[in-house]
Structure 1
């Protein structure tokens, strides 16, 4: 299930935000017009009777636009209005109790900030995980920030959809989706904007495009019809240290490798090598020839080829730039060449380093020539 853009209508914004006095119903119409797919009602102060009445009207509005209506925390309210589902916090009713009450066709989301909590929620029967904060947010100032890496870890640890929340602005959409999120939940990004519908439209377009791009990229990389050409660079800094990047996506998630990536259509392999080092690590590099060509073939548990790369490995020297790992990486570092083999390297990186060290004079190793 892809949740896309998920908007939370929070009571604090109804009573005190820039659109103070605007009804829940009008806010819902505004975000649905902008493209929101899921609308959640969250109000921790409204009396139960009033909350049921608002929820009933919101459900009608959301369903009229083909959307999904979720109630925050209140299983009783969700049951009373036959909402599509409920979102539960760690201190709310357990999923095992809520599920038979709501019915097995209803959506139950659970907030989880750690891998352990996410796995527990999945095992208990949750439909999706809500996780964050991705960055600090004005909507919940005491929220724990887990960042892109925390999001990525939870997405990898669970098989159910993950919705990211907390401090997500327009420019954060692509990294969040690339990390594995199936949707992005927002409050202030739209309810705090002067034009709610316009802000929702902008976010919806970015989220929709990012989800489509991720699907295309997976189709392009995984289970290919033939080998894909990639480039990587053995980058030295002039003191015998080599640049290594710890992968934040498959294949080889969490392992250290040389910076690199796929050659794009119409791009020369040398251009790809230099571009990837800069995009991944913020380092401009001077290429000094090819040092290796390696195959990276990775099969799934059935023996089918999942990834198949032919990697052209260049040697390079840092020209300028400070190390700045991209959001696609878990980390990047300058590592003394004689210590690199002690890291958890990809098989191809380990082979490349061993061959390079075995064929290069000691003095050149120190300088990186």
Structure 2
């Protein structure tokens, strides 16, 4: 095919009749720019326009592309490397290593677009995923193969909590983790990488012994990359679940940026926006990602997703759509972090569908409820103490 027009990160490509690529196929543009530098851009087909033209979204910058350049249809969706060789490495959305440690020695690749597991493959029994973090396990326990929303602004200890979880699943369950950085700061991605090396989650001497694979598509990437990088990370996690039959932790930071990138792409493709300017396919896109994160008979993917809430409005379509998929929420509170209480999990705001007597047992349930009552009472009394002082309280309240 040939490039017919370029609109920012979106390309229209004309193909000979009868040679049209399928939707979601990867196209590769190879050539030289005006200065003679080699160009290699991968795109993904999003729409068939008719007249033997397709509209594709680029996964990297489209600088230097010109009309008439040759485009090759790879005949398959984007495929990324999977398996043990991915551990300890950093990838971009195309599955190319970006950590300057040489190529990945694996021949196993997997396409990023797959159907979700069928009903008969799913594992339906409810079991708790023990994190080893006491406040979480007691008050808002995670579900094995469930999805957990992590709420908290900058600097309340999200990264440290994530490191702790990666360490614990490696030690207690022999499982591995995949971290997907979706549209967040590159600096934070770098900090996380450095901290992982320090704590031994990534083993520099023997890279195969590492416990985590990192996939980044940060803020500076075009929207096509940010929209697909979550799927790249998920595909790597699925391989560990389905083939290696392991319990996997999948971190997505930040799920809101996935929606945001989808909205940018949607506008570029000329779709009518829906509520608050989001894409009309918002819940479909979210569903196709979230439905693949689940427990099967082979293993489980437990997903922890940082959720950015725009302007703290929980009714905004992006967080509202995310909530529909979550089994538990962990809310990190700035007030607790300021007091130096870490992990700064707010015990009254965090919720879990797993906190039921028939799942965790009567004793656990009763204990959790009593803890919550005590904390709630303390919260009510705080105002009285602040205004009137401790002396005004009754004997039982002072305790």
Classify the TM-score, shorter chain: under 0.3
TM-score (norm: length of structure 2): 0.26
The answer to which structure, 1 or 2, has the higher relative contact order (CA under 8 A, 6+ apart) is: 2
Q: TM-score, normalization: structure 1?
A: 0.27
